[in-house]
Amino acid sequence: MLVNRSLKSELLSLLVLVFFTITFSHAQQDAWVYITDKQDVANSIANPISILSQKAIDRKAAHGVVIDERDVPVNESYIAQLKSATGITVMAKSKWFNAVHVRGTVTDINALSSLSFVSSIDFADKTMNTSKQTLEKKESKFQETFTAFNYGDTANQIKMFNGDQLHLLDYTGTGMTVAVLDGGFPNVNTMTSFQRLRDAGHILDDYDFVNRDDDVYTNTASDHGTWVLSTMAGYIENEYVGTAPDASYYLFITEDGKKENPVEESYWVEAAERADSLGVDVINTSLGYGGV
């Protein structure tokens, strides 16, 4: 009887081990796949307008920032091969890191190491990177009459850092471009507090990197972007004035308000890279990422 109980115990342990092994091997994981090289780098750098906007080129020149290989996009043929790989979904990409964010099982992701252009793989779950998976195959300024505002409800927040003094000196955001990387921006296209911003044509563009579309106003999973934008661009005469109501803005959703996943960090990277390519002067983001 004792032998039978011992045998049952061992069999039960074995079944549990097999169950967790199968579950682990089929679970979806996120990872960065780093690429060895880029395509037509010299020609792209010699003709930067093919990869950057003129504003971005001018901004880099003004600050002495050299246009280099990091500004060249990830090789699209490599991305296509990753997309066609068994069990792999391409979620995002980064030209700065020359990497592609993929999702799949551990087995399918590790199988990408056989591709000649893959230099290393870095899992979002750092416990899977015991060997680091490194393969190392290859080494409108306001008019003067409007600069002295009645700040209303925003008086305290403006005056605590002397923003009112900057406004008196006509530093109201004119000529500056800000990219806001955040959650959703519901009702920015209809709210009275952003009417002045809309009428001036200072919302330059928008994009939802999570859902891969340009509808950032009906995403109700998060309204944090709307709140953040209001602190800068909100304006209700004699009641509310943001810190930079004359700046121009790009609105980018990088946060998935319904869940927490490592790919959100990659969406953020994509948005930051696009902002850089567009020549923005400031990136505003107030996001945090929980452990996974």
Burial 268-289 (b: 16+ CB within 10 A, else e): bbbbbbbbbbbbbeebbbeeee
Give the lowest-confidence range in 34-38, 141-145, 183-187.
141-145
pLDDT at 141: 39
Whether the pTM exceeds 0.85: the reply is no
Average pLDDT over residues 119-136: 73
More confident: 163 or 195 = 195
pLDDT of residue 10: 55
pLDDT at 2 over 80: no
What is residue 4's predicted lDDT score, i.e. its pLDDT? Answer: 54
Domains in the chain with CATH codes: 27-128 (no CATH), 144-285 (3.40.50.200)
| Least confident residue range of 53-62, 75-84, 131-140, 142-151 | 131-140
Handedness of CA 179, 184, 189, 191 (dihedral sign): negative
User: Each residue of 48-76: pLDDT tens digit?
Assistant: 999 999 999 999 999 999 999 999 999 99
Q: What is the pLDDT of residues 163-191, one digit of tens each?
A: 888 888 889 999 999 999 999 999 999 99
- Closest to 33 in 3D by CA, of 86, 125, 127, 103: 103
pLDDT of residue 67: 97
Q: Where is average pLDDT lowest: 157-161, 242-246, 286-290?
A: 286-290
